[in-house]
Structure 1
Amino acid sequence: MKAVEIKIHNFRSICDASITLAEYGILVGVNNAGKTTVIDAIRAFYGKGVKFDKSRDFPHKGAEDNESWVEIEFKPSAEEIGTLKDEYRSENDTFRVRSYLSSDQKDKEGKERSGPYAYVNGELSEERFYGFKNVGQGKFGEIIYIPAVSKIDEHTKLTGPSALRDLVNTVLSRVMEESGAYQALSESFSEFEGAIKTESTAEGYSLQSIETDISEELSDWGAGFRLNISPVGVDDIIKGLVNHEIIDQSMDKAQPISAYGQGFQRSVIYTLIRVAARYGPKKKSPKKKEFSPELTWILFEEPEAFLHPTQVSSLNSDLRSLSESLGSQVLLSTHNPQFATHSIRNITAICRLQREDCRTRSYQVSSDELDRVLTVNQQDAQAWQAAGIPIDQDDLQTDMEAVKYALWLDQKRSSAFFAEKVLLVEGPTETALLTYMFDHGLLPDCKGVFVLDTIGKYNIHRFMRLFQSFGIRHYVLYDFDNGRHAPIDQTIQAASNEFTGGIDTFPEDLERFIGIAPAGRPHRKPQHVMLQVAQNGIDLNPLAAKINALVSQ
C-alpha cells in the first residue's frame, strides 16, 4: 500500500493544504515554511508522537471554522484491495480516511467526532473507519519518524521502543517459534525451577520455605502461595541478555558509539531503519479476509544533517530505492538541493511550502500542469521559427523540452526551491558579478535572493513558468540588445505571472551598461567582465541601484 494524497485542515500554520504524495516525496522551502508541520500532521493522523493541543496546534489566523483534521488517501496493492470493505473502495481502487483532531460535529453517540472516518461512495461517513476509535489498528500501516535532531540512544535502546529493538524482536520472535535451542532452554528452565526452589542457604532458607511460611499464614483463609520461575521469553532476552557494540575495524575493538561523529551516528540510525524495513512482516495470505495492508512510511527530517556531499548522494539513492519497494514509502523534508534534483517527470514529487501572511501554502506541479508548461514552451519555439529565428528541429519536440529541464535543474539551480526570491539572469557573467557585488555590500536588498543562470535569454520564460507552479517569486534581468530579438522579448513578457516580481533589461547589454567594451568572443564574457572590474575600478553603483530597485518590488 502507498499513501497518494494528504489534506490538512486547520493544523498550526496550515489552514488548508492538499499535497499529492509520491513514493519518494520531497518537502522543500525556506526555514519556518511549514515542512515540519506537514510531517507532524501525518504523525497526528497516526497518533504517533503528536497529540493535538488546540491552544498550540489550531491556527492563530485564517481559520474559517473550528474543525481540525488530517485526511489521507491510500492506494492498496491489487492483493490488498480485495480484502478492503466494498463500501470504502473508490473507483480508482483507493480509500480515503479523515482523522478528526478537533470538531464541533457529533457522532451517532452524541460525542465530539474524533479519530478516523472513511469516505463511503464519495461522501464522508458518520461512522468510524471499521468502527475503531483510534488509528492503532493496523489499517494504515506504520510510520517511522526520524527527527532532524535525535539521539542515537533513542534508536538503539533495548529496554523500550526503538528501531533496533523492533528489528531484533521481529527476527527473534520468529526464530523462537520453531527453535530447538529455545525449546531445550524452556525444558531446562522447568528442571531448574524444580531444583532451585528446594536448594537452601546455610541458614536453611529456600524459595520453598518462603512458599511454606506464607501458605501457613494464609491457611486460615483457605488459600496457599506459590512462587513460579517462568522460562525466559523474547522480551526478557532482549531487555536483559542482548546488547550491542560498534566494532572499529581498524583497531579490531569495540568502541562506544559516542566516540563517533554525528554523521556516523545519523548513518547508523538510517541503517537500522532501512534494515528493519527489509526484515518486516511477511506478506499475509491473500485468502485472509481481514484488511491489514503493509506500509512502512519513513518520515525523515533533514536527512542531510551531518553528512558529507558524497554521503548525501548515497543516502538519496538508498532512500529512493527503499521507497520503490513494495509496502515502503518515504517523505522527507530537506534544505539540500541535491534531494530536489529530479528528472523532470519526477519533479511532481516535490512539494514547496511557503509562508504567506502567517499561513502556509503548498505548491506542486501536477503531471497535467507540467505537460501544459512543456506544450506552451513548444508553441513559443514554433512562433520564434515563424518569426525567422533559427530553431533546430530537435527543439521542436516536446520531449526536448523535458530534456532541457532535466539538464538545467541541476544541484545548483535546484537551490531556487529553497530561496525566498530568485533573480533570473542570462548567464554566468551576471551570477559572478552579482556575487562579487553582494560580497562587497553593494546589494543590501538582495538578502535571500538566489541568482539563477538561465543559460541565455532563450530560456528565461521556461523558468518563469515552472516557478509559477511552485509559487517561487522571481525577477528577470537580461540584455535587451536594442530590441533585436523582439519575439523573445515578447515571450518573456507573456510569461509574466502572479509570482513575477518585475522584469528589467539593459538597453544594449551588461558590458555597455557598466561602461566597458564587450569581450572579443562571447565565451570570454565572464572573465573579461570580472577582470575589468578588478583592474579598472568600474563604478558598479548604477548597476547596484538597478538590481536593488528590481528585487524590492
Structure 2
Amino acid sequence: MRPLRVSVRNVRGARATELHLRPFSALIGPNNAGKSTLLDAVRLFYGSLTWDPARDRPWDLTSEEAHDPSWVEISYVLNELDLKELDLEPGELADDEIRPLDGDVLTVRRYLTGDGDRRQGDYYFIPANEDEAVVATGWREPPSRLGHCVYVPAVTSVEDQTAMSAPSPLRDVMLLAFTDPRVDGFLGTINHGLQGLRQAMESGPVRRLEERLGDALRPWGLSARVRVGELTDEFILGNLIDLSLSKGGSLHSMEAEGSGVQRALIAGLIQAAAQLRADGEPEEFRWILFEEPEAFLHPAQIVRLAHDLRRIAGTGNTAVTITTHDPKMLSASRTPPEALARVHRPGAAVRVTSPSPLQVTATLEDVRTRSLYTRAAHACFRDPAQAPPGDEENRVLYDLDPRRAAAFFADRVIVVEGFSDVAVFEWLDARGLLESLGPNLGVLDAGGKYELHRAVSTLSMFQIPHVVLWDEDAPMKDPGTSAERRAICRDRASLEALRAAATVPGATLGAVRLHGTIERWLGLPEEQVPAWKALNLGTALDETYGDSASVVRPRVEVLLEVIHTLFDGGDVTRLAARPAFAGCLISQDPAHPATTVDFQAEIAALPLPACRCAAATQ
C-alpha cells in the first residue's frame, strides 16, 4: 500500500488543492506558502490532529461558500494483502485516472465538517469512476489497513520527540520492536502465566471491591465492574521504558542538549526504524511526515538522513513526505523532479503544482521521442536513432545535483546549455549584477543543447517561468566544410526540439541563441579543459569587465536587459537590433512559430540515404 493523491477542500488556505505523491515526496516552497497545512491535512485525516474550526476553517469564505464542507480525501494503491484485509475483490476499485502501477485504488474521504447526511469526522468510500458518489462506510476511524502517520515537526522540544505515553517518533519506533515475533511470543507467554493471577484477583479482592461499589451506586441504578488487564506493549512503553543520555558514565536530561543534538536524535530514530523494518517487515503501513529534516543538521548529517529516509520509503510499506528548503536534501535523497510539489500562495489560497502520473507519463514519452530525434542529429540523420543510455528515459531530468535542484526553489530560472554559461552567471551573481532579474533567480544547467528541451519540459510541468540561453555550434566551424553542415543540422534539431517543448503558457517566456559560445560572444578566450573553465572564465571577466576598451561589460549589460525584458513580457525588438546580437536568434516565445517536425515520422524514416544538411541551411 502507498498513497497516490491527497485532495484537500477548505482546510485553512487549502481551498481546493490536489497533491500527487510518490513513495518519497518533497514539498518545496517559501515560508508561509502552505506546506505545513498540507501535512496537517493528512494528520487531520488520520485523527492524529484534532479539527479546530477556529484554526482550520478558512477565515475568508464568502456567504455563498459558508456551507461548503471541509474534507480531506486520500487515494491509496492496494496490493492483494490490502484487498483481503478490506474484504475487497481485485479489480473492484480500479481507477485508471490516477493509478500509476498495477493494483487497485482505494479513495477515502473524511469530512471534517458535516455535509447533509455525511457526519462530521466520518470516513466515506469514493467509488472509482463515479462522480461524487459517496458511499457511507460506517467508519468512525480509518481502517487499520490504512495504517497511521508519524509526524516530525521542524521545531519542537526533545520531550515531544521522545514521549512514551503520547504519540512521538521514539514511541513509534519502539512500537516496531513489538512486531518482532520473538517479542510478541514472549508477551504471550507472560500473559498466559498471569492468567491464574487475574482469575484469583477477579474471584477474590476484585469481586469484593465490586460488591462494595455496587452497594454505593445502587440508589442510582448503577453497578461497578473492575477488570484486570493484560501486559500490553502500550503499558510497557508508558511505564517500563525510559530514554536518557549518558556522557562520561553519568546520565543527564536530554533537554540540556542543543537543537543540533535533538535533530541528530531524530535522525537516529529514523535510522533505527529503517533497521527494524529490514529485520522484521511489519504489515502495517506507516506514513512519515517530516518537516524540514535538514534543520540544525551538519551537511554530512543531512546527507545521511536523506539516505535513510529514502531507504525507508523503499521498503514498500512506508511512504515518506518531507518539506524542505535545502536543495542538498533533494539531491542526497535522489528525488526526481516528478516527486516534487511546489507550494506557493499568490493570495490567501494555497496553490500546489504537483504533476499527476498521467502528466508525467505523457511528458516522459515526449521527452524520449525528442531525445531520439536530437541523438539522430549527431550523425546528421544517417544512422538509426540510439536510445538514451541506462534509465535516462525513465525520468524527466537527470538525477538532481544541488545546483540543479536549487532551480526548483526559484521564482524565475535561466536555462543554460552547459558549464561555461553557469560559470558566467555565477560570476555575475557574486557581484550583485543579477539583482535586476528578480530576488529569487535560479540558473539551470541542462547538460547540453540537446537536453534543453528536457529542462524546458520539466520546468514547464511545474509552471516555473524561464528564459532559455544557448549557443550555436555552426559559427565555430570553417564555412563551407562538412563540419559546418553537420553543426547546422544539429543546431536546427536542438531548436526544433526546444520549440516542441515550449508549449505551456506562461512557462517558457523567451529564448536567446548566441552566435557561437558565450565566451566567443563576450570576446573572452575559450578554455578547452573543463576543470579550468570556471577559474579561467572568472579571471578573464575580472580582467575585462572594468576595461572601457573591452566589449565584455556592454555585452553583459545588454544580454541582462534582454533577459529582464523577456521575463517581464516587454518588447525585445529594439534590443535584438543591437550590433551585439548580429547573427543571434532572439524570440519572445520559442513555441511560435511552432515546430513543424513530426518527430515520430522522422525517427521511423531513419536511416536516410543522404544528409539533410542542405535543407537545414534553407
Short-chain TM bin? 0.7 to 0.9
Distance 1:127 1:458 in 2: 51
Matched, 1:38 2:45: no
Report what 2:435 is aligned to.
Answer: 444
> In the alignment, which residue of structure 2 is the partner of 1:272?
269
User: Is 1:455 aligned to residue 450 of structure 2?
Assistant: no
- Tell me whether 1:67 sits opposite 2:69 in the alignment: yes
Structure 1: distance between partners of 2:49 and 2:32:
20
Letter in 1 for 2:353: S
Find the partner of 1:492 among 498, 503, 519.
498
Relative distance call for 1:100 and 1:268 in structure 2 (3 A) is same
CA distance in 2, matches of 1:447, 1:161: 41
The residue that corresponds to 1:246 in the other structure is 245
Change in CA separation of 1:545 and 1:161 when aligned onto 2, cut-off 3 Å: same
Q: 2: distance between equivalents of 1:244 and 1:120? A: 46
Partner of residue 284, structure 2: 294
Displacement of 1:528 in angstroms is: 3.5
Partner of 1:442: helix, strand, or coil? coil
Question: Letter of the aligned partner of 1:458 in structure 2?
Answer: Y
Determine the C-alpha separation between the residues in 2 that align with 1:136 and 1:41: 14
Asked if the contact 2:397–2:454 (Cα under 8 Å) also holds between the matched residues in 1, the reply is: no
Q: Paired residue for 2:80, among 78, 81, 101?
A: 78
Aligned equivalents of 1:121 and 1:441: distance in 2?
54
- Structure 1 residues 499-552: Cα deviation after superposition (integer angstroms, max 9, x where no partner): 1122124344434544x3433647465444322222342463541353254144
**Unmatched 5+ residue regions in structure 1?**
195-210, 285-292
**1:107-118 → structure 2 map (5 Å cutoff):** 107=117, 114-118=121-125
Match of 1:419 in 2: 410
Quickly say closer, same or farther: Cα 1:15–1:352, change in 2 above 3 A: same
How many residues are paired up? Answer: 512
Give the superposition deviation at 1:473: 1.8
CA shift at 1:59, angstroms? 7.5
Maintained 8 Å contact 1:481/1:509: yes
Aligned counterpart, 2:113: 102
Partner residue in 2 for 1:203: none
Measure how far apart 1:237 and its partner are. 6.2
Gaps in structure 2 of 5+ consecutive residues: 95-102, 476-486, 569-618
- Larger displacement relative to structure 2 (68-77 or 342-351): 342-351
With over 3 angstroms needed to count, the CA separation of the structure-2 counterparts of 1:294 and 1:549, relative to structure 1, is same
- Structure 2 CA distance, aligned partners of 1:139 and 1:408? 34
Matched residue, 2:541: 533
Partner residue in 1 for 2:320: 330
Letter in 2 for 1:444: E
Question: What residue in structure 1 maps to residue 509 of structure 2?
Answer: 501
Which runs of structure 2 are paired with 1:130-145 in the superposition (5 Å)?
A: 131-132=138-139, 134-136=140-142, 138-145=144-151
Aligned residue for 1:287?
A: none
Whole-angstrom CA distance in 2 between matches of 1:231 and 1:481: 80
What secondary structure sits across from 1:90 in the alignment?
coil
Distance 1:309-1:367 versus aligned 2 partners, 3 A rule? farther
How big is each residue's C-alpha offset from its partner over 1:190-232, in whole Å with a ceiling of 9 and x where there is no partner? 7xx99xxxxxxxxxxxxxxxx9xx99x99xx9xxxx9x99899
Report whether the alignment pairs 1:474 with 2:480: no
What is the CA–CA distance in structure 2 between the aligned matches of 1:114 and 1:149, rounded to whole Å? 28
Q: CA deviation at 1:397?
A: 4.1
1:308 is displaced (CA, Å) by 2.3
In the alignment, the residues of structure 2 paired with residue 465 and residue 10 of structure 1 have an alpha-carbon distance, to the nearest angstrom, of 31
Residue of structure 2 in register with 1:199 after alignment = none
Q: How does 1:168-179 map to 2 (within 5 A)?
A: 171=178, 175-179=186-190
> 2:264, 2:50 → 1: CA distance?
25
**What is the CA-CA distance between 1:156 and the residue it aligns to?**
1.6
Instruction: Write out aligned runs for 1:81-480 (5 A).
Output: 81-86=83-88, 89-91=92-94, 92-102=103-113, 105-107=115-117, 114-120=121-127, 122-123=129-130, 124-129=132-137, 131-132=138-139, 134-136=140-142, 138-165=144-171, 171=178, 175-179=186-190, 183=194, 239=238, 242-248=241-247, 251-272=248-269, 275=272, 278=276, 294-341=284-331, 347-357=337-347, 358-364=349-355, 366-382=360-376, 384-385=377-378, 388=380, 395-397=386-388, 401-402=392-393, 407=398, 409-445=400-436, 446-480=438-472
SS at match of 1:304: coil
Higher relative contact order (CA 8 A, sep 6+): 1
Offset, 1:270: 4.2
Cα offset for 1:154?
A: 0.8
| CA distance in structure 2 between the partners assigned to 1:147 and 1:472 by the alignment | 28
AA matched with 2:408: F
TM-score (norm 2): 0.69
Cα separation, 2, equivalents of 1:376 and 1:159: 57
The alignment partner of 1:150 has SS state of: coil
Closer/same/farther in 2, CA of residues 527 and 42 from structure 1, 3 Å limit: same
Residues 1:548 and 1:52: Cα distance change in structure 2 (over 3 Å): farther
Structure 1 residue 345, shift from structure 2 partner: 10
Residue 309 of structure 1 and its aligned partner are, at CA, apart by 2.5
Letter in structure 1 aligned against 2:161? H
* Separation (CA, whole Å) in 2 of partners of 1:269 and 1:24: 18
SS in 2 for 1:178: helix
The amino acid that maps onto 2:12 is R
Mapped contact 2:471–2:518 kept (Cα < 8 A)? yes
| Whole-Å separation in 2 of the counterparts to 1:423 and 1:317 | 30
1:546 aligns with 2:559: yes
| 1:325, distance to aligned residue in structure 2 (A) | 2.4
Partner Cα separation in structure 1 for residue 109 and residue 395 of structure 2:
40
The letter for the 1-side match of 2:414 is L
- C-alpha distance in 1 between matches for 2:473 and 2:270: 56
SS at match of 2:463: coil
Deviations 1:259-312 (A, max 9, x none): 4442332232344356468489x999xxxxxxxx82111111111222223222
| Secondary structure of residue in 1 paired with 2:144 | coil
Q: Is the 8 A contact 1:90 1:122 kept in 2?
A: no
Q: Aligned partners of 1:444, 1:370: CA distance in 2, in Å?
A: 34
For residues 501 and 242 of structure 1, do their structure 2 counterparts lie closer, same or farther at Cα, with a shift above 3 Å needed?
Answer: same
The CA deviation at 1:179 is 2.2
Aligned in 2, Cα 1:402/1:392: closer, same or farther, shift over 3 Å? farther
SS at match of 1:353: strand
Change (3 A) 1:8 1:430: same
